[in-house]
Structure 1
Amino acid sequence: MIFNPVLPGFNPDPSICRVGDDYYIATSTFEWYPGVQIHHSRNLVNWSLVKRPLERASQLDMRGDPDSCGVWAPCLSYADGLFWLVYTDVKRLDGNFKDAHNYIVTSPTIEGEWSDPVYINSSGFDPSLFHDEDGRKWFMNMLWNHRSNSVGGSPKHPAFAGILLQEYDPDAGKLVGPVKNVFQGSSHGLVEGPHLFKRKGWYYMTVAEGGTGYDHAVTMARSRSIDGPYEIHPDTFLITSANAPDAALQRAGHGQIVETPAGIVFHTHLCSRPLPGTRRSPLGRETAIQRCEWRDDDWLYLSQGGVMPFVEVPTEDPLVDPEPTKATHRIFDGDQLPPEFQWLRSPEPEKLFSMTGSALRLHARESIGSWFEQALVARRQEHFVFRAETEISFAPETIQQAAGLTHYYNRHKFHFLAVTWHEKLGRVLTILSCPGDWPDGRLEFPLDEPVQLPADGPVQLALEVDLGELRFFWRVSASEDWKQVGPVLDASVISDEGGRGEHASFTGAFVGMAAFDTSGSAIKADFSRFDYAPR
């Protein structure tokens, strides 16, 4: 069986591509750097992260991009001996505009260095590139209409104004010929995320509709001509949980068709798993896969029936078992950041952190939550119940300096256990918490008094998340028992739906190490290890 989600934790907008016996899924990374995650599999069951291709300033610079902007909805394809990656860098979220710039990069291999980007257009987000049988290439994206007063205005969702199609000339590196709005979507509204698949002379388009919240859906349409007109699937939706409030996989939508060498069809999609009894999804939008089948009417349907996504899905090879979940124990004694970690926005990581050979050294920069240069290195939360630990060596000299362990979503949703300085007590431990205060991002300080620490030496920090509850712990050395610090905090707010809500929060919960120095002196904070263990 395939057990969904196959990519747990923040991995939305999955674009799937097969080359021979190798499958690749590209997912959105938004403001997290490097841009785009690409996972590899040979059986659709077990996946491993193999590349984040947007890794230098000429490809991507997101400093100043607001929360949940940056890299949206990549499309990965293979043709002419090259992998093609299309992506959007979104520079604005609020108001009538998005300022969504679309680019293409290429590489002969997934793991190698990818090209500098070719700029395509800025007319909307969710770009896609289709390689037709005659060798022509077609570029699509949704059209953003800034004239609407709001996304939910009248007529329904006027900002989402259809799917644009235009030919792409790879030799000239630009779009050519007429641009045409080829599909307005169904009455469900909010049409986005287009992908094309060709079979028996039909062009099949799957799109995302309903917004990326609990009304999300994969809608299907087809046409004999690539530029339409497109007729909608008899059931409208191929995949959705919109009318299934008890389904294990919620918010299902936005994915792509892939066909195995044996001709079996699967469709990826994003989904989320809310905490029991809530509509809060701390793991963000995750990637799942559904098995499909072509029926006599030449339409695609879920092979297990209906439109609701399944957790357990039959695969081609019944002998393949999912790999067991394991804890990760990272000792920072090398010269490379372990692959599960990312940082925020900046293409100049040397300003934010370095590997000393015995520690991950954060060079404390702007405040936690900054949209520009923030020294925060973290990994995805992939389990509802887990424990994380680290050890920090840090000698603050002012209240403006702090470093420690954080459970982080964005600038208005985080909890931060920090070593800092107090005028009377010297080096202390405190908690800075922002439990969803949007738009101001004002802090709360859950400790009545900071905890005095020894004047120098390393400190060990830990946190435990149990569904919607978070507890912080500390100790000076391994010979001591762990001591809880502060009250139980609300972990559920570190979620898509916490604070501002699902339609403006597109990433997921991270856990990691952070340091800030608002004096501007860039004090160093050394972390010797980081452990992540699901419970």
Structure 2
Amino acid sequence: MSTIQNPILPGFNADPSIIRVGDTYYIANSTFEWFPGVRLHESKDLEHWNLLPSPLSTTTLLDMKGNPSSGGIWAPDLSYADGKFWLVYTDVKVTEGAFKDMTNYLTTATDIKGPWTDPIKLNGVGFDASLFHDKNGRKYLVQQTWDHREYHHPFDSITLTEFDVETMKLKPETAHTIYTGTHVKLVEGPHLYQINDYYYLFAAQGGTVFTHQEVVARSKSLDAYSFETEPGDPFLTNLDIPDNYVQKQGHGGLVSTPGGEWYYASLMARPWNHVNESSTDPRGWSTLGRETSIQKVEWDEAGWPRIVGGHGGTTFVEGPKDAIATEAPADHSQHDDFTSPTLDINWNTLRVPFTEKIGTTGDGKLTLVGQGSLANTHDLSLIARRWQAFYFDAQVKVKFDPFSYQQMAGLTNYYNDRHWSFAFITWNEIKGHVIEVGENNRGNYTSYLKDDAIKIPEGTEYVWFRTKVRKESYTYEYSFDGTNFTEIPVTLDAAILSDDYVLQSYGGFFTGAFVGLAVVDYAGYDAKAEFYDFDYKELGDKALGDGTYSWRASESRFD
């Protein structure tokens, strides 16, 4: 029997929807404004997971151009019934203010790897929609319900609406409230399960921050207001356990093993603090975003589910007795020599798919065509991958010939359009081709080198960039030969790329830090840059002080 260490999906893998089909488990996660939409993994042991192709890979299935940061795909729901996979997903177009304009869609596939059917529009009542397949053959959409009226709480309730499988449409006249949550409010993320004589509703509350929690309610019918809440503590929360290595648990899904054991997959985070900060205020900075945890579940004598180890869960979890060993990479390190005509599965673009407007890949190089700045939410030439460890190095070789300071190409660490940094080749009036480091912090841009920008020697064809991320901070380096690197004298605070920091000034705080390759030409002359031999190498999660790193976490945030 194995021991599973949390998180099972490290780095920005939020809002897990978990199912089992036969002996295989699948998890679908939110992707927000990143394309392609919905992240899928599979496993046979709940411990080792392999990334699958994303289902929403075309603009027919997902059109997010112009979406705000942290809009897009919220909390997809994956289910399996009638011999096929059903995927419900939400595309959120408005994130700030009184309104959450959105559309919920449904697509299906007989194979998890696709093809997926053209989307069916469901409604826009609220986000976090899931599809419940009743044993009697009827189907229902279960969803958070949004209320824009300023004299009501915006998270109104959980609504149930019957779905007609003949017309493949909802029956809005059947919509009714089944649960309003508790006094904690912000009820969302609903999933219904039919177990023995009860319908069990799992729902998140408290907001997807350190106050997050999951509650369970049950009823013997699906009638309005018929669900009663599980007595005692919330099913899952870390609110009252600030020292736990695992934090923010709540929103997620329940799954059973073939042998009848039960597990709950939840979003989680691993915050850290600067050495001069209190460990409780601020609670910490979650630069890896909201990840996915797994907790074992037992049922008490009254038929209520309980987390093994208490409502805060544990870092190390007993694996299933009937687990089938799954082969998966030891970590998430990646090398890309760009020989394929398509992007590696780990790469993502913002809002739109990778097309010739952004660039091309193949024959050993990635070519990107300069468009808008990294603050642009419409036209941007950026490919990026998740930070999935607290300690890693990433580097790339770049060829670029700018003639204007409005043209830039290089390596970026990126959270959203308001929060990022960029080490890049550009041009200035004094030195010609130079290297600069810039940072956008809450939308305020800073050039760090200015008149001390590093001159690129005449005749230099390539510049290598490297970033070294060391949990609380990170730096950039450059090289003109690919062997001897020089550190740029700028140390950046990694907290600026965290959900928690962004939350302080902006309502969109749902993703995580990425490292990526970008070209900017806001002059509008389509300057091109070539990238070669990208390398992302994970060093582990915890520095040991001897130049090495350990991925094995303790039970405490502070050990």
Q: TM-score, normalised by structure 2?
A: 0.91
Cα distance per residue 1:351-395 (max 9 Å; x no partner): 112114121111111111211121110100011111111111111
Q: Please tell me the residue identity of whatever aligns with 2:308.
A: S
| 2:228 matches 1:231 | yes
The equivalent of 2:430 in structure 1 is 424
Cα distance per residue 1:138-176 (max 9 Å; x no partner): 001111010126xxxxx7xx0000011010012212111
Equivalent pair of 2:95/2:507 in contact (CA under 8 Å): no
Unaligned 5+ runs, structure 2: 274-278, 540-559
Cα distance per residue 1:50-100 (max 9 Å; x no partner): 121001111111111111110000000001111000010000111110101
* SS of aligned partner of 1:78: strand
State which drifts further: 158-167 or 517-526.
517-526
Q: 1:337 aligns with which of 333, 337, 343?
A: 343
The equivalent of 2:465 in structure 1 is 461
The equivalent of 1:74 in structure 2 is 76
Q: 1:488 aligns with which of 491, 506, 518?
A: 491
The equivalent of 1:206 in structure 2 is 202
| 2:520 matches 1:516 | yes
Q: 1:164 aligns with which of 159, 164, 169?
A: 159
| 2:455 matches 1:452 | yes
Residue 454 of structure 1, CA deviation: 2.8
Q: 1:527 aligns with which of 518, 524, 531?
A: 531
Separation in 2, partners of 1:509, 1:114: 29
Residue 319 of structure 1, CA deviation: 8.9
Unaligned 5+ runs, structure 1: 150-154
Separation in 1, partners of 2:354, 2:422: 24
Q: 2:315 aligns with which of 305, 311, 315?
A: 311
Q: 1:269 aligns with which of 266, 270, 274?
A: 266
* SS of aligned partner of 1:235: coil
Percent identity for Structure 1 against Structure 2: 39
Equivalent pair of 2:368/2:381 in contact (CA under 8 Å): yes
Q: Please tell me the residue identity of whatever aligns with 1:202.
A: Y
Q: Please tell me the residue identity of whatever aligns with 1:486.
A: P
Cα distance per residue 1:208-267 (max 9 Å; x no partner): 100000000111000000235000001251110011111111111100110111110101
| 2:341 matches 1:346 | no
* SS of aligned partner of 1:101: strand
Equivalent pair of 1:413/1:498 in contact (CA under 8 Å): no
Separation in 2, partners of 1:333, 1:325: 22
Cα distance per residue 1:324-347 (max 9 Å; x no partner): 326322211221211111010013
Q: Please tell me the residue identity of whatever aligns with 2:454.
A: V
Equivalent pair of 1:212/1:503 in contact (CA under 8 Å): no
Q: 1:174 aligns with which of 166, 169, 174?
A: 169
The equivalent of 2:11 in structure 1 is 9
The equivalent of 1:246 in structure 2 is 243
Q: Please tell me the residue identity of whatever aligns with 1:252.
A: Q
Residue 483 of structure 1, CA deviation: 0.3
The equivalent of 2:39 in structure 1 is 37
Cα distance per residue 1:406-427 (max 9 Å; x no partner): 0100111111001111122111
Q: 1:299 aligns with which of 304, 308, 326?
A: 304
Equivalent pair of 2:71/2:508 in contact (CA under 8 Å): no
The equivalent of 2:479 in structure 1 is 475
* SS of aligned partner of 1:105: strand
| 2:189 matches 1:193 | yes
Separation in 2, partners of 1:231, 1:376: 48
* SS of aligned partner of 1:477: coil
Separation in 2, partners of 1:503, 1:213: 12
Q: 2:133 aligns with which of 116, 131, 134?
A: 131
Equivalent pair of 1:60/1:347 in contact (CA under 8 Å): no
* SS of aligned partner of 1:444: strand
Equivalent pair of 1:142/1:160 in contact (CA under 8 Å): yes
The equivalent of 2:400 in structure 1 is 394
Cα distance per residue 1:273-300 (max 9 Å; x no partner): 0014451100000000100011210110
Cα gap change, 1:78 to 1:319, in 2 (>3 Å): closer
The equivalent of 1:408 in structure 2 is 414
Q: Please tell me the residue identity of whatever aligns with 1:190.
A: L
Separation in 2, partners of 1:215, 1:327: 32
Equivalent pair of 1:61/1:347 in contact (CA under 8 Å): no
Separation in 1, partners of 2:332, 2:285: 25
The equivalent of 2:95 in structure 1 is 93
State which drifts further: 170-179 or 98-107.
170-179
| Residue pairs, 1:36-55, within 5 angstroms | 36-55=38-57
Residue 450 of structure 1, CA deviation: 1.0
Separation in 1, partners of 2:125, 2:221: 23
Separation in 1, partners of 2:325, 2:481: 43
The equivalent of 1:366 in structure 2 is 372
Separation in 1, partners of 2:222, 2:302: 20
* SS of aligned partner of 1:493: helix
Separation in 1, partners of 2:419, 2:503: 9
The equivalent of 2:439 in structure 1 is 433
Q: 2:289 aligns with which of 254, 277, 284?
A: 284
The equivalent of 2:542 in structure 1 is none
* SS of aligned partner of 1:211: coil
Residue 503 of structure 1, CA deviation: 5.4
Separation in 1, partners of 2:332, 2:407: 35
Separation in 2, partners of 1:382, 1:130: 32
Cα gap change, 1:503 to 1:311, in 2 (>3 Å): farther
Separation in 2, partners of 1:495, 1:227: 41
Cα gap change, 1:64 to 1:323, in 2 (>3 Å): closer
Equivalent pair of 2:342/2:362 in contact (CA under 8 Å): no
Separation in 1, partners of 2:166, 2:523: 50
Separation in 1, partners of 2:272, 2:160: 39
The equivalent of 1:377 in structure 2 is 383
Q: 1:122 aligns with which of 97, 121, 124?
A: 124
